[in-house]
């Protein structure tokens, strides 16, 4: 079926395709399958799912439009693409909501069956865009996908209403033909996924094949396109989303620490997939508890940490708000704990399904009292794996809660990931205390739960079940060393400074800031978290113009890497793009007294590379200030 | 958790070196003393015993026990203890809480720990007042309670803790009081030996902010009139001459009766093991507050698999079916491919 000799095959270096339809149309699935087939074919890729907060908004309305954008390429890429050059629109609302992003000359494939009056009205079209000139200048393909799907599945005895539900597979078939995707992977997937409902499976297979054959035989498409595989480094690869990589990173950390994993979590978008993924892997000794609320999730994790488990709680911003008091308790108890925040648009319920990086200040300061907490941020979907292991390493070694930040963009987005060799992963195991660590005035052996390691300032971790080390800890201030309740002001200041020094001392244990430096000193773009791809792509574009710019990306946000100030001061200009109102730029200004220029975007969507590129060019065009 | 080689201990072995700092005369002292006296009889090891608390006067309890312990944050003791008990089913985990901690700020965690049947022994010291914050009304204070925060009297209906626990699917529910050490020890032992969540309401006198709240029931001179001892398998009787009892009325509601009026055969025979919680619930509604005949003892004790054991079974099952986890295989469990 891959014989396309009857039509031309044009080679492309990349294509950005957006699948858009009603939230009931299965667009996320369609995009995901196209992505998987492309990953297996060997393309580099990056995805951007974008769906409404409602599970089923009224059908056919703008509010109900769900979209999935994927950039597939024959070379290494960093983003899902600024603009789709191909839009698949399953109904008028999907066209209306997404056409604005497609440049003139782009390809628009529509399900023409759905462009009838009722749907046009729901989408707010006074006239039919297929005939009124709206699509002038676009390369438009009108395909009656619904009726062709019904026709293709008729022989199976599927009712027309049920048959219509396979139209997304028809669309997937057309696009698979257009971009010469091998059929086997998708066929096998449909067979497995719907194995329990043979009729649905056959219906989807028939629709998929019909779509593919339609592309091949209809006189509509002049050419298909080929995007050659990317030249990847040798190794084993998989296509992974950030949330899956994060869950796997936590399991890896549990193995590397030789501690059982305990997750206390309450469902919340966009973090729930981590709970789902971890729940599958009980054979790794993973205990997941869907708690009664966010506070119970972290409280149970604290209990498990006291019991000697690798304890984790996963949530998004509103959940972090609720967990704040328990996070402070973990600071005071000095127990290892990982708090995962998959950031989303706020404040309050905000934009549950849309991305934002607006919890940095919350992570840094969102607790009462002096309660410093290390912060680690993941930068790409696959990097969530490494970031999870790093968060666990710091938590265990320093007996501290650690905040691990990701966001909706990389949590749901995916990319090909060269799998690490398990043997190369770091050993993060720590020892429990087993013996008394102090001798009393009477010469008796005692256990002091707050007698610290002189190097890391970490306190001993003595777990229940260890004879002779029975001790009590709590949220009241403790006497330095003994850990007994103590209200003395001088002791409180000493303990406050010790807790701060312990976390600050992590700076000696983390690498310098990652800088992609091209030698010039004109401009440094500084980012954290998921802006990595957009900034990297923008820097490439600026360099392609023959100009110079460097990119620093901060993974450890507290404490900052020791060389960050020095790196910032090397450049005449510093630009900080963030999906918030300028939180990192404010921290950099406060900490290092550098003139960090903020570039902000709070639209629930990642930066386009072109947006950062424009800001960079504006800075580079201005006469540079002298560096003092 | 009883094993043959558990070392013999005395009360002193279970006392920590910390000075006990409750107000002189507080009922908490007698509860602490009952627990410390009881521990040597439980056949458990100090290192395998953990006391977890939230915030409030009662919450200082773990500091005074020479075991592992955690003084947590307000209301969260049940949630913290849940995580510990699920992670470490080998431990004996006790929760010490109060009426404000367990029923107000921590009400959600209490009911979920009970319905999940987490293997915990929960002792809730009920003094019907906020002590640590110096005398505001609590979720068990009677209607009309005049306190600093309710100078005109409280207008909210109190919780009945026993009814609440039964409604939350608790498998072990009991009540005791701080004026009877032996009854406390007997009740705590039963609660400890129960597999799953045990809930014990302990009437506890706060002599500073709510003195005598339970005296109508617990004072020696009032017990014969107002304390109804529950004995499994026995007709429910009380009174100086055992002349009062509990019998159903025409609608089936339990009521206090004179045995002479109804005859012995009409009395309710206590059965803590009934699958339905209706019997225990009816007993919990007998008194509207600790000022009229009030049952103490075990209301309900039934067996149900506890959450930690079920979770442990799922892990063993998954390992038996799929082998213990292989990380390299996990990373390749999606569609993966090799680039040469």
Note the pLDDT of residue A70.
97
The model's pLDDT over A290-303, given as tens digits with 9 standing for 90+, comes to 999 999 999 999 99
The model's pLDDT over A517-555, given as tens digits with 9 standing for 90+, comes to 999 999 999 999 999 999 999 999 999 999 999 999 999
Residue A222: pLDDT band with limits 50, 70, 90 = confident
Residue B51 lies in a domain: yes
- DSSP, collapsed to helix, strand or coil, labels residue A548 as coil
Which among B80, B321, B340 is the nearest to A300, CB-wise?
B80
Query: Does residue A204 sit in the same domain as residue A301?
Result: no
Query: Does residue A75 sit in the same domain as residue A19?
Result: yes
CB pairs under 8 A between A and B: 213
**Angle at A207 (CA atoms; ends A206, A208), nearest 5 degrees:** 90
Q: Give Dmax (Cα) for chain B.
A: 94
- Cα A580–chain centre separation: 16
The model's pLDDT over B217-241, given as tens digits with 9 standing for 90+, comes to 999 999 999 999 999 999 999 999 9
Which among B70, B91, B339 is the nearest to A473, CB-wise?
B70
Instruction: State the nearest Cα–Cα gap between B39 and chain A, in angstroms.
Output: 15
**Angle at A539 (CA atoms; ends A533, A540), nearest 5 degrees:** 90
Residue A8: pLDDT band with limits 50, 70, 90 = confident
**Angle at A563 (CA atoms; ends A558, A567), nearest 5 degrees:** 115
CB contact under 8 A, B83 and A232: no
**Which residues in chain B have Cβ-Cβ distances shorter than 8 Å to A244?**
334
Residue B48 lies in a domain: yes
**Which residues in chain B have Cβ-Cβ distances shorter than 8 Å to A286?**
315
Which among B69, B324, B334 is the nearest to A472, CB-wise?
B69
Note the pLDDT of residue A627.
45
Note the pLDDT of residue B1.
47
Query: Does residue A394 sit in the same domain as residue A457?
Result: no
Which among A289, A308, A329 is the nearest to B73, CB-wise?
A329
**CATH number of the domain encompassing residue A192:** 3.40.920.10
**What mean pLDDT comes out for the span A5-21?**
89
**CATH number of the domain encompassing residue A566:** 3.40.50.920
As given in the structure block, the two tokens for residue A223 are: 């050419």
**Which residues in chain B have Cβ-Cβ distances shorter than 8 Å to A285?**
315, 319, 324-325
Note the pLDDT of residue A564.
98
**Domain range spanning residue B203?**
11-213+305-314
CB contact under 8 A, B330 and A484: no
> In the listed set A227, A253, A283, which residue is the last one of a domain according to the structure?
A227
Neighbours of A130 (CB within 10 A): 18
Residue A374 lies in a domain: yes
Residue A424 lies in a domain: no
The whole-chain average pLDDT of chain A stands at: 95
Instruction: Give the Cα separation of A442 and B105 in Å (integer).
Output: 43
DSSP-assigned letters across all residues of B237-276: EESTTS-EEEEE-TTS-EEEEEHHHH-GGGSPBP-TT-SS
Instruction: Report the residue of B79, B113, B310 to disrupt the A interface, i.e. the one with the largest count of A CBs within 10 Å.
Output: B79
Burial class, A170, CB count within 10 angstroms (exposed 0-12 / middle 13-18 / buried 19+): buried
CA atoms within a 13 Å half-sphere pointing along the CA-CB vector of A576: 20
Residue B176 lies in a domain: yes
CB A68 within 8 A of CB A18: yes
Instruction: Give the Cα separation of A159 and A140 in Å (integer).
Output: 30
Instruction: Give the Cα separation of B8 and A67 in Å (integer).
Output: 68
Is the confidence metric ipTM above 0.85 for this complex?
A: yes
Query: Does residue A571 sit in the same domain as residue A462?
Result: no
Instruction: State the nearest Cα–Cα gap between A613 and chain B, in angstroms.
Output: 33
> In the listed set A509, A535, A554, which residue is the last one of a domain according to the structure?
A509
Residue A628 lies in a domain: no
Residue B22 lies in a domain: yes
**Which residues in chain A have Cβ-Cβ distances shorter than 8 Å to B68?**
306, 464, 470-472
**What mean pLDDT comes out for the span B177-191?**
98
Query: Does residue A333 sit in the same domain as residue A369?
Result: yes
The model's pLDDT over B256-279, given as tens digits with 9 standing for 90+, comes to 999 999 999 999 999 999 999 999
Instruction: State the nearest Cα–Cα gap between B134 and chain A, in angstroms.
Output: 18
Chain B, window 190-249: residues with a beta carbon less than 8 angstroms from a chain A beta carbon: none
Q: Is B62 on the interface with A (CB under 8 A)?
A: yes
CB contact under 8 A, A283 and B315: yes
Query: Does residue A122 sit in the same domain as residue A189?
Result: yes
> In the listed set A384, A419, A454, which residue is the last one of a domain according to the structure?
A419
Note the pLDDT of residue A52.
87
* Plot region of A71 (φ>0 → left; ψ -120 to 50 → alpha; else → beta): beta
CB A87 within 8 A of CB A109: yes
Q: Is B335 on the interface with A (CB under 8 A)?
A: yes
Q: Is B91 on the interface with A (CB under 8 A)?
A: yes
B102 backbone dihedrals φ, ψ, rounded to 5°: -85, -30
CB contact under 8 A, B338 and A235: yes
By DSSP bridging, strand A107-111 and strand B254-258 are unpaired
As given in the structure block, the two tokens for residue A169 are: 């597979």
Q: Is B71 on the interface with A (CB under 8 A)?
A: yes
Residue A172 lies in a domain: yes
Residue A233 lies in a domain: no
**What mean pLDDT comes out for the span A60-65?**
93
Instruction: State the nearest Cα–Cα gap between B91 and chain A, in angstroms.
Output: 7
**Which of A217-231, A481-495, B200-214 comes out lowest in average pLDDT?**
A217-231
Query: Does residue A192 sit in the same domain as residue A245?
Result: no
Instruction: Report the residue of A235, A392, A464 to disrupt the B interface, i.e. the one with the largest count of B CBs within 10 Å.
Output: A464
Residue A187 lies in a domain: yes
Residue A4: pLDDT band with limits 50, 70, 90 = very low
The model's pLDDT over B37-56, given as tens digits with 9 standing for 90+, comes to 999 999 999 999 999 999 99
Instruction: Report the residue of B16, B39, B58, B80 to disrupt the A interface, i.e. the one with the largest count of A CBs within 10 Å.
Output: B80
Name the residue in chain B with its Cα closest to that of A474. Answer: B71
Instruction: Report the residue of A186, A266, A292 to disrupt the B interface, i.e. the one with the largest count of B CBs within 10 Å.
Output: A292
Neighbours of A468 (CB within 10 A): 13
Neighbours of A401 (CB within 10 A): 33
DSSP-assigned letters across all residues of A143-191: E-HHHHHHHHHGGGT--HHHHGGGHHHHHHHHHHHHTT--SHHHHHHHH
Number of structural domains chain B divides into: 1
CB A153 within 8 A of CB A203: yes
Percent of chain B whose pLDDT exceeds 90: 97
Note the pLDDT of residue A221.
87
The model's pLDDT over A208-218, given as tens digits with 9 standing for 90+, comes to 999 999 999 98
Name the residue in chain B with its Cα closest to that of A434. Answer: B47
Chain B, window 253-292: residues with a beta carbon less than 8 angstroms from a chain A beta carbon: none
The model's pLDDT over A383-440, given as tens digits with 9 standing for 90+, comes to 999 999 999 999 999 999 999 999 999 999 999 999 999 999 999 999 999 999 999 9
Q: Is the pLDDT of residue A7 over 90?
A: no
Query: Does residue A387 sit in the same domain as residue A469?
Result: no
- DSSP, collapsed to helix, strand or coil, labels residue A137 as coil
Instruction: State the nearest Cα–Cα gap between B259 and chain A, in angstroms.
Output: 46
Q: Is the pLDDT of residue A1 over 50?
A: no
Q: Which residues pair with A445 in a beta bridge?
A: A439
CB contact under 8 A, B47 and A304: no
Number of structural domains chain A divides into: 4
Query: Does residue A71 sit in the same domain as residue A36?
Result: yes
Instruction: State the nearest Cα–Cα gap between A159 and chain B, in angstroms.
Output: 33
Q: Tokens 């001993």 sit at which residue?
A: A460
- DSSP, collapsed to helix, strand or coil, labels residue A121 as helix
**Domain range spanning residue A452?**
431-509
- A618: Cβ–Cβ under 8 A, 6 or more apart, which residues? none
CB contact under 8 A, A252 and B81: no
**CATH number of the domain encompassing residue B24:** 3.40.50.970
DSSP-assigned letters across all residues of A344-385: -B-STT-BTTS---TTHHHHHH-SSSS----EEE--STTHHH
Single out the residue of B310, B323, B309, B315 nearest to residue A282, CA to CA. B315
Query: Does residue A181 sit in the same domain as residue A157?
Result: yes
Residues A330, A401, B309, B117, Cα dihedral to 10°: 40
Instruction: Give the Cα separation of A165 and A168 in Å (integer).
Output: 7
**Which residues in chain B have Cβ-Cβ distances shorter than 8 Å to A255?**
325, 327
Residue B319 lies in a domain: no
- Cα A22–chain centre separation: 24
Query: Does residue A73 sit in the same domain as residue A218?
Result: yes
- B159: Cβ–Cβ under 8 A, 6 or more apart, which residues? B103, B139, B140
Q: Is the pLDDT of residue A624 over 70?
A: no
Query: Does residue A196 sit in the same domain as residue A108?
Result: yes
Note the pLDDT of residue B4.
59
Single out the residue of A337, A341, A427 nearest to residue A373, CA to CA. A337
Please, what sign has the CA dihedral across residues A357, A361, A367, A371? Answer: positive
Residue B92 lies in a domain: yes
DSSP-assigned letters across all residues of A54-96: SSSPSTTSGGGEEEEEEEEESS---SS-SS-SEEEESSHHHHH
> How far are the Cα atoms of A254, A259, A321, A464, A568 from residue A428, in angstroms, in the given order?
9, 10, 29, 21, 31
Instruction: State the nearest Cα–Cα gap between A404 and chain B, in angstroms.
Output: 21
The model's pLDDT over A444-480, given as tens digits with 9 standing for 90+, comes to 999 999 999 999 999 999 999 999 999 999 999 999 9
- Cα A257–chain centre separation: 24
Neighbours of B222 (CB within 10 A): 14
Neighbours of B5 (CB within 10 A): 5
Residue A57: pLDDT band with limits 50, 70, 90 = confident
- DSSP, collapsed to helix, strand or coil, labels residue A8 as strand
**Which residues in chain B have Cβ-Cβ distances shorter than 8 Å to A293?**
108
Residue A3 lies in a domain: no
**CATH number of the domain encompassing residue A346:** 3.40.50.970
**What mean pLDDT comes out for the span A249-277?**
98
Residue A625: pLDDT band with limits 50, 70, 90 = low
Name the residue in chain A with its Cα closest to that of B314. Answer: A282
Task: With residue A609 as reference, give the H or E element that holds it.
Answer: helix A609-621
Instruction: Report the residue of B87, B105, B317 to disrupt the A interface, i.e. the one with the largest count of A CBs within 10 Å.
Output: B87
CB A521 within 8 A of CB A570: yes
Instruction: State the nearest Cα–Cα gap between B71 and chain A, in angstroms.
Output: 4
Exposure letters A437-454 (e unless 16+ CB within 10 A, then b) = beeeeeeeebbbbbbbee
Note the pLDDT of residue A3.
47
- Cα A147–chain centre separation: 38
CB A340 within 8 A of CB A246: yes
Chain B, window 154-183: residues with a beta carbon less than 8 angstroms from a chain A beta carbon: none
Residue B33 lies in a domain: yes
CA atoms within a 13 Å half-sphere pointing along the CA-CB vector of A548: 10
Residue B231 lies in a domain: no
Instruction: State the nearest Cα–Cα gap between B23 and chain A, in angstroms.
Output: 17
**Which residues in chain B have Cβ-Cβ distances shorter than 8 Å to A327?**
none
Which among A42, A238, A472 is the nearest to B336, CB-wise?
A238
**Which residues in chain B have Cβ-Cβ distances shorter than 8 Å to A472?**
16, 18, 51, 62-63, 65, 68-71
């Amino acid at each position: 079926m891959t014989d396309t000799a009857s039509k031309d095959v044009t080679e492309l270096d990349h294509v950005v395709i957006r699948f858009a339809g009603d939230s009931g149309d299965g667009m996320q699935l369609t995009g995901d399958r196209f992505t998987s087939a492309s990953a297996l074919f060997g393309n580099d890729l990056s995805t951007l799912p974008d769906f409404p907060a409602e599970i089923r908004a009224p059908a056919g309305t703008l509010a109900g439009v769900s979209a999935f954008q994927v950039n597939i390429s024959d070379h290494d890429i960093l983003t899902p693409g600024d603009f789709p050059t191909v839009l698949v629109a399953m109904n008028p609302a999907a066209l209306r909501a997404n056409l604005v992003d497609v440049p003139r000359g782009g390809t628009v494939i529509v399900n023409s069956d759905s462009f009838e009056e009722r749907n046009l009205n729901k989408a707010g079209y006074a006239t039919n865009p297929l005939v009124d000139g709206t699509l002038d200048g676009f390369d438009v393909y009108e395909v009656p996908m619904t009726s062709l799907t019904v026709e293709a599945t008729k022989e199976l005895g599927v009712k027309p209403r049920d048959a219509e539900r396979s139209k997304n597979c028809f669309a997937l078939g057309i696009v698979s033909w257009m971009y010469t995707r091998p059929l086997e992977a998708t066929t096998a997937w449909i067979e497995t996924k719907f194995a329990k409902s043979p009729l649905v499976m056959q219906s989807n297979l028939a629709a998929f094949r019909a779509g593919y054959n339609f592309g091949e035989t209809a006189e509509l498409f002049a050419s298909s396109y080929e995007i050659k595989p990317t030249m990847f480094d040798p190794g084993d690869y998989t296509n992974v989303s950030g949330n899956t990589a994060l869950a796997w990173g936590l399991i890896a950390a549990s193995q590397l620490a030789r501690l059982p994993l305990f997750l206390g979590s309450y469902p919340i978008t966009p973090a729930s997939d981590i709970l789902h993924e971890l729940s599958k892997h009980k054979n790794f000794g993973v205990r997941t508890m869907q708690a009664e609320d966010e506070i119970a999730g972290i409280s149970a994790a604290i209990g498990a940490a006291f019991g000697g488990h690798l304890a984790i709680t996963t949530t998004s911003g509103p959940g972090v708000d609720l967990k704040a008091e328990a996070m402070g308790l973990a600071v005071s108890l000095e127990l290892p704990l990982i708090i995962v925040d998959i950031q989303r648009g706020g404040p309050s319920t905000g934009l549950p399904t849309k991305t934002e990086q607006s919890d940095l200040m919350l992570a840094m300061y969102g607790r009462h009292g002096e309660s410093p907490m290390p912060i680690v941020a993941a930068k790409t979907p696959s990097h969530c794996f490494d970031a999870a292991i790093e968060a666990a390493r710091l938590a265990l070694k320093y007996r501290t809660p650690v905040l691990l930040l990701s966001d909706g963009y990389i949590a749901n987005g995916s990319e090909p990931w060269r799998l690490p060799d398990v043997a190369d992963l770091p050993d993060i195991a720590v020892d429990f205390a087993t013996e008394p660590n102090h001798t009393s005035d009477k010469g008796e052996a005692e256990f002091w739960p707050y007698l610290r390691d002189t190097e890391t300032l970490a306190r001993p971790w003595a777990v229940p079940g260890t004879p002779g080390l029975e001790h009590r800890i709590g949220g009241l201030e403790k006497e330095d060393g003994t850990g007994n309740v103590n209200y003395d002001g001088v002791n409180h200041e000493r303990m406050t400074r010790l807790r701060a020094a312990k976390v600050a001392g992590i700076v000696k244990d983390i690498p310098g800031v990652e800088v992609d430096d091209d030698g010039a000193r004109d401009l440094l773009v500084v980012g954290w978290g998921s802006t990595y791809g957009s900034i990297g792509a923008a820097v490439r574009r600026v360099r392609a113009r023959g100009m110079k710019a460097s990119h620093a990306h901060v993974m450890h946000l507290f404490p900052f890497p020791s060389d960050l100030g020095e790196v910032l001061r090397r450049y005449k200009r510093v630009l900080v793009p963030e999906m918030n109102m300028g939180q990192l730029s404010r921290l950099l200004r406060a900490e290092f007294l550098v003139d960090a220029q903020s570039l902000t975007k709070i639209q629930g969507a990642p930066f386009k590379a072109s947006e950062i590129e424009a800001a960079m060019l504006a800075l580079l065009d201005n006469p540079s200030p002298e560096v003092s | 958790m009883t094993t043959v080689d558990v070392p013999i201990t005395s009360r002193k072995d279970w006392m920590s070196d910390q000075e006990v700092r409750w107000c002189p005369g507080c009922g908490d002292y007698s509860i602490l003393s009952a627990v410390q006296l009881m521990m040597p009889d439980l056949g458990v090891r100090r290192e395998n015993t953990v006391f977890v608390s939230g915030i409030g006067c009662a919450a200082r309890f773990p500091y005074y026990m020479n075991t592992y312990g955690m003084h947590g944050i307000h209301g969260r003791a049940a949630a913290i203890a849940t995580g510990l008990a699920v992670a470490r089913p080998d431990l004996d985990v006790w929760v010490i809480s109060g009426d404000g901690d367990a029923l107000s700020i921590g009400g959600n965690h209490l009911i979920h720990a009970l319905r999940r049947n987490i293997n915990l022994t929960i002792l809730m010291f009920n003094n019907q007042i906020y002590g640590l914050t110096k005398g505001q009304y609590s979720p068990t204070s009677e209607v009309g309670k005049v306190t600093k925060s309710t100078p005109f009297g409280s207008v909210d209906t109190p919780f009945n803790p026993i009814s609440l626990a039964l409604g939350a699917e608790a498998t072990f529910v009991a009540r005791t009081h701080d004026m009877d050490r032996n009854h406390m020890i007997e009740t705590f032992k039963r609660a400890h030996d129960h597999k799953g969540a045990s809930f014990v309401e302990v009437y506890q006198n706060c002599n500073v902010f709510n003195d005598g709240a339970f005296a109508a029931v617990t004072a020696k001179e009032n017990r014969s009139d107002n304390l109804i001892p529950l004995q499994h398998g026995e007709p429910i009787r009380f009174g100086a001459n055992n002349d009062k009892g509990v019998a159903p009325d025409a609608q089936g509601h339990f009521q206090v009766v004179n045995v002479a009026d109804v005859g012995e055969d009409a009395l309710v025979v206590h059965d803590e093991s009934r699958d339905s919680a209706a019997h225990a619930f009816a007993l919990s509604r007998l008194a509207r507050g600790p000022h009229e005949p009030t049952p103490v003892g075990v209301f309900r004790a039934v067996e149900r698999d506890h959450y930690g054991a079920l979770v442990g079974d799922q892990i063993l099952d998954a390992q038996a079916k799929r082998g213990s986890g292989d990380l390299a295989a996990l990373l390749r469990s999606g569609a993966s491919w090799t680039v040469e």
